[in-house]
A and B are shown apart, each in its own frame.
Chain A
Amino acid sequence: MTLIKTSYNRRSFLKTSTVAGGGFVLGFSWLASCQTADPVKEAIVKAMPKEWFDINAFLKIGDTGIVTIMSPNPEIGQNVKTAMPMIVAEELDVAWEDVVVEQAGLDTDKYTRQLAGGSQSIRQGWQGLRMAGATARRMLLEATAKKWEVAVDELTTDAGIIYHKASGKKIGYGEIAAAANGMTVPEEIALKDPKDFKIIGTDRKNVDGQKIVTGQSLFGMDIQEEGMKIAMIVHPPAFGMKLKSFDGEAIKSMPGISDVFSINTKPEGVKLQWSDQGNVYPELVAIVGETTWQVMKAKKALTVNWVPGSKAESSADHEAALTKFMAQAPKEVARKDGDPTAAFNVATKIVERTYSAPFLAHNTMEPMNFYANVTADKAELNGPIQTPQFARPTAAALLGMTEDQVSIGMTRMGGGFGRRLYGNFVMEAALISKQANAPVKLVYTREDDMTQGTYRPAYKVTYRAALDADNNMTAFHVRGAGTHGSPVFADRFPAGAVDNYLAENHTKESNISTGAWRAPRSNFIACAEQCFLDEVAKEAGKDPIDFRLGLFERAASNPVGEKNDYDAERYAGVLKLIKDKANWNGASANGVHRGVSAYFCHNSYVAQVVDVVMEDNQPKVSKVHCAVDCGIVINPLSAKNQIEGGIIDGIGHAMFSGMTFQNGKPDQENFDTYRLIRHAEAPAEIETHFVDNGIDPTGLGEPSLPPIAAAVANAIAAATGERLYSQPFIANKQILG
């Protein structure tokens, strides 16, 4: 048992209302719709409460023992809406079947970090969520002890019931909740020993699963409100262009169209947040009307004059600029250990390879959208946003309001992948509602969504490795460049494992908006690095897993440098686990060719072995074996789903996807030209193994994606003898014709 101080955002635990004011009644339909841990047909275990008692910001207990647990963070498909409440329920010691999950809105007084990004919800939420459950349980125990006039430590709990063994008395949480509501919040609290966990570590179904498969309203796109109008924006057709004029009158007479005007989401003097960086088209035309189809038709009919504002860029220019960087040393080095120049000079063998990848769009399945109802004294905003706490200050500033006049609700999101970190669409919806003087739902068409993205930058990286006469890697050099930011992480592996090491970064500024895309930078660099190490191992005549393990041994026992951004033993651990589980022996057998890859990012470690078979002379991924170390696994069922999703996403984008530009204009604007992985291209089987080490949990939304492309490329090399250096792989016609 761990005793910890409850200093973590203590405001969250202070009771939020008194008994008298706190009880309220909710309709049955609300309960049925939330209690979806199991199919609706299954009987609700406890009856609908008449009264609820707010215990703290994370939970309230009904008089029948049903518990409502708030999920504080945005849900983008990473399944925190199930996992975060599981952690609270664990420490509260309540049966999961008695839990109703509710999505919290933005409330910076009650919650910290209501953000979906960097795979951090679980890692950073862990302690606070446990405390929320544990303090509530403690208050229930204290209230019971007082009532029965016994010592608190004579009481035990199980599944929402408090027991006093000596007297044989018992009482349900629902019966004592009113009294607990008046208790002081403990200064210190004991947390469960992980070996006593009953909910954490067990398979629990997505709390919204039943709603999803029956098509109930869940997403921002689904919002329908009284008097609500539909709004769309028209943005410049190419990066570098800006609005000059438009003929609004011509479309105002079209059926259903009520308003056509321009908006500016970046007027002088408005303080911007980091999450506004993706907003490259501040001046837009807005069209407001009755129905989506009417507005879509008006949008097509609108004539707009655009004029050049900055240079029009093409993909060929980016390629040329990045290639040029590969031959140039930057002014400053990112990291240097030992004397790389000298080591390369005396090398027996030097391996040098260059890797590249194009821009990528996020393409969340649900296009950008947001609901806004702006009136004279308040703004009610609701929809899919990964960063509500950063959207609010900008929205308030734009509307000339204080932050407490602006509320932001969070809907379930049809994907995020980083796109919804950048809330330009929130600002657009707010300004449109204000000007139209009506509640509006702003809807992007797929084309709007794809052609004004915050893209993953185009990247290029060159690696060099020096081998001595005994095939030891004596020096390692990485030089990376990207269209806004280099993909290289100077302190990541193999930094720390090589005596002579040099990392260099270049950046090509571009007016094409870029931003975080699932596992930023890692999504490219892991593939490049792990493909390169595979070739170096081959040149050194070593098994690729053993070669990597040798480097980790060095990094663990005698690390080079002070600052290495990984734990070499945990890194090696996932490789050893996958070597064992996949029965790796480095050879192809029975027509199955294999590749391996491992990467550490977002605090979790992943190693993968991919099996490739040749079908009609084409390599096809038949199976993926995956080992993961994310510490304690909260919900293995959905953890595996995340791992599988990341793997399929990673294979898909490396294989098929890319965004290119001609004179600032995107070449792809919908799924007919932008290719995403489909059913027939997904691996037939994915097997996931978790390291069981009891370490505090880390996230899974991103970590399985970065390494997979390299495991695939390395397996294709084993199958065909050909190496893949540029993404999308499908463009390499001689290998993947």
Chain B
Amino acid sequence: MAVYNLTINGKKQQVDVDPDTPMLWVLRDHINLVGTKYGCGIGQCGACTVHLDGNAVRSCSLTVDKVKDQKITTIEGLSANGDHPLQEAWIAHDVPQCGYCQAGQVMNAASLLSNNSNPSDEEIAGAMNGNICRCGTYTRIKAAIKTAATKMG
């Protein structure tokens, strides 16, 4: 076990865990941020997507010892009042079915839009391809990303 000082959603957090603990479980079990989801544990589904210094990463494949002073943002910290344009677009398009994959989808989309403010259909499909939605909400996700992109201008 070792002590790590982390910055999560702008807040300093200290955890005492094994160095090989994936950030996914640090967030869920130690900091009680359960919005980040476990889907596969091997970087294949995207349910665990968070931002590391603003870029989407799979928290199941990022061990706590690699984080150092990089800032982590989770779905709970994406916006102060749940009003990020993507969150609003997700509601407007009534995207979720079961909802389990959606935090990861939103986080991945947020990273996409911060790098490419006006993605084409192909660019959306390409960037989002690592995020599985077992319920099949893909067409709505695409529409919601486009709506948010327009809003963010």
Chain A residues with CB under 8 Å of chain B are 39-41, 76-79, 203, 205-206, 208-210, 212-219, 221-222, 224, 230, 255, 291-294, 297, 363-367, 412-417, 445-446, 637-638, 641-642, 644-649, 652, 670-672, 676-680, 682-686
* Chain B contacts with A in 73-121, Cβ cutoff 8 A: 74-76, 78, 81-83, 86-88, 90-91, 94-103, 106, 121
CB distance from A689 to the nearest CB of B (A): 16
Is there contact, CB below 8 Å, between A205 and B38? Answer: no
- 19 extra A-B contacts, CB within 8 A, seeds A647-B136, A671-B42, A680-B126: A77-B97, A206-B94, A209-B91, A209-B94, A210-B91, A212-B96, A212-B103, A213-B102, A215-B76, A292-B29, A365-B134, A366-B37, A366-B39, A366-B100, A412-B99, A641-B140, A644-B139, A648-B139, A671-B44
Residues of B within 8 A of A415 (CB): 98, 100, 134-135
Let me know if B61 is at the binding interface, CB within 8 A.
no
Let me know if B151 is at the binding interface, CB within 8 A.
no
Is there contact, CB below 8 Å, between A222 and B44? Answer: no
Residues of B within 8 A of A213 (CB): 75, 82, 86-87, 90-91, 96, 102-103, 106
CB distance from A548 to the nearest CB of B (A): 26
Give the distance in Å from the alpha carbon of A638 to the alpha carbon of B99 in the complex. 13
CB distance from A670 to the nearest CB of B (A): 6
Give the distance in Å from the alpha carbon of A121 to the alpha carbon of B135 in the complex. 18
Could you write out 6 A-B pairs with CB less than 8 Å apart? Answer: A215-B35, A291-B25, A292-B29, A365-B134, A678-B129, A679-B138
Give the residue name and chain of the A residue nearest to B88 (CB): A39
Is there contact, CB below 8 Å, between A645 and B45? Answer: no
* Chain B contacts with A in 23-49, Cβ cutoff 8 A: 25, 28-30, 32-42, 44-45, 47
Is there contact, CB below 8 Å, between B30 and A645? Answer: no
Is there contact, CB below 8 Å, between A365 and B94? Answer: no
- Per CB-CB distance, the 4 closest pairs between chain A and chain B, nearest first, are A215-B35, A77-B98, A414-B100, A648-B136
Is there contact, CB below 8 Å, between A224 and B103? Answer: no
Is there contact, CB below 8 Å, between A365 and B98? Answer: yes
Chain B residues with CB under 8 Å of chain A are 1, 17-18, 21-22, 25, 28-30, 32-42, 44-45, 47, 74-76, 78, 81-83, 86-88, 90-91, 94-103, 106, 121, 124-126, 128-142
Give the distance in Å from the alpha carbon of A255 to the alpha carbon of B90 in the complex. 41
Residues of B within 8 A of A417 (CB): 134
Give the residue name and chain of the A residue nearest to B38 (CB): A221
Is there contact, CB below 8 Å, between B136 and A646? Answer: yes
Residues of B within 8 A of A205 (CB): 91, 94
Residues of B within 8 A of A291 (CB): 17, 21, 25, 29-30
Q: Which of B38, B44, B75, B83 has the most CB of A within 10 A?
A: B38
Residues of B within 8 A of A685 (CB): 139
Partner of A208, one of B32, B81, B99, B135: B99
Partner of B76, one of A210, A214, A293, A648: A214
Is there contact, CB below 8 Å, between B29 and A219? Answer: no
Give the distance in Å from the alpha carbon of A78 to the alpha carbon of B18 in the complex. 39
Residues of B within 8 A of A293 (CB): 17-18, 21-22, 25, 29
Give the residue name and chain of the A residue nearest to B125 (CB): A680
CB distance from B112 to the nearest CB of A (A): 11
Give the distance in Å from the alpha carbon of A76 to the alpha carbon of B134 in the complex. 12
Give the distance in Å from the alpha carbon of A635 to the alpha carbon of B90 in the complex. 17
Residues of A within 8 A of B82 (CB): 39-40, 210, 213-214
Is there contact, CB below 8 Å, between B40 and A446? Answer: yes
Partner of A39, one of B28, B83, B98, B141: B83
Residues of B within 8 A of A680 (CB): 125-126, 129
Give the distance in Å from the alpha carbon of A41 to the alpha carbon of B88 in the complex. 11
CB distance from A423 to the nearest CB of B (A): 18
CB within 8 Å for A645 and B137 given contacts A40-B82, A293-B21: yes
CB distance from A641 to the nearest CB of B (A): 6
Is there contact, CB below 8 Å, between A645 and B87? Answer: no
CB distance from A454 to the nearest CB of B (A): 16
Give the distance in Å from the alpha carbon of A683 to the alpha carbon of B140 in the complex. 11
CB within 8 Å for A677 and B87 given contacts A212-B102, A213-B96, A413-B98: no
Residues of B within 8 A of A638 (CB): 94
CB distance from B151 to the nearest CB of A (A): 14
Is there contact, CB below 8 Å, between A679 and B97? Answer: no
Residues of A within 8 A of B83 (CB): 39, 41
Residues of B within 8 A of A644 (CB): 136-137, 139-140
Give the distance in Å from the alpha carbon of A686 to the alpha carbon of B142 in the complex. 12
Partner of B25, one of A292, A412, A414: A292
CB distance from B34 to the nearest CB of A (A): 4
Residues of B within 8 A of A217 (CB): 34
Residues of A within 8 A of B88 (CB): 39
Give the residue name and chain of the B residue nearest to A674 (CB): B44
CB within 8 Å for A221 and B37 given contacts A40-B82, A213-B87, A671-B42: yes
Is there contact, CB below 8 Å, between B44 and A367? Answer: no
CB within 8 Å for A414 and B99 given contacts A213-B90, A648-B136: yes
Residues of B within 8 A of A79 (CB): 97
Is there contact, CB below 8 Å, between B40 and A670? Answer: yes
CB distance from B95 to the nearest CB of A (A): 8
Is there contact, CB below 8 Å, between B45 and A365? Answer: yes
Partner of A224, one of B32, B41, B94, B133: B32
Give the distance in Å from the alpha carbon of A677 to the alpha carbon of B132 in the complex. 8
Is there contact, CB below 8 Å, between A679 and B37? Answer: no
Give the residue name and chain of the B residue nearest to A644 (CB): B139
Is there contact, CB below 8 Å, between B97 and A642? Answer: yes
Give the distance in Å from the alpha carbon of A116 to the alpha carbon of B30 in the complex. 33
Partner of A365, one of B41, B42, B76, B101: B101
Residues of A within 8 A of B100 (CB): 219, 364-366, 414-415
Is there contact, CB below 8 Å, between B136 and A652? Answer: yes
Give the distance in Å from the alpha carbon of A562 to the alpha carbon of B111 in the complex. 60
Partner of A255, one of B18, B44, B94, B132: B18
Give the distance in Å from the alpha carbon of A248 to the alpha carbon of B43 in the complex. 30
CB distance from A673 to the nearest CB of B (A): 10
CB within 8 Å for A40 and B99 given contacts A671-B44, A671-B45, A672-B44: no
CB distance from B40 to the nearest CB of A (A): 5
Give the distance in Å from the alpha carbon of A76 to the alpha carbon of B44 in the complex. 23
Is there contact, CB below 8 Å, between A365 and B132? Answer: yes
Partner of B99, one of A77, A297, A637, A645: A77
Is there contact, CB below 8 Å, between A679 and B125? Answer: yes
Residues of A within 8 A of B140 (CB): 641, 644
Residues of B within 8 A of A219 (CB): 37, 100
Q: Which of A76, A209, A210, A648 has the most CB of B within 10 A?
A: A209
Give the distance in Å from the alpha carbon of A649 to the alpha carbon of B38 in the complex. 21
Partner of A216, one of B22, B35, B36, B134: B35
Residues of A within 8 A of B1 (CB): 255
CB distance from A36 to the nearest CB of B (A): 9
Residues of A within 8 A of B47 (CB): 365
Give the residue name and chain of the B residue nearest to A223 (CB): B34
Give the residue name and chain of the B residue nearest to A684 (CB): B121
Give the residue name and chain of the B residue nearest to A686 (CB): B139
Is there contact, CB below 8 Å, between A641 and B44? Answer: no
Is there contact, CB below 8 Å, between B98 and A678? Answer: no
Residues of A within 8 A of B135 (CB): 77, 365, 415, 645, 649
Residues of A within 8 A of B28 (CB): 292
Residues of A within 8 A of B136 (CB): 644-649, 652, 677, 682
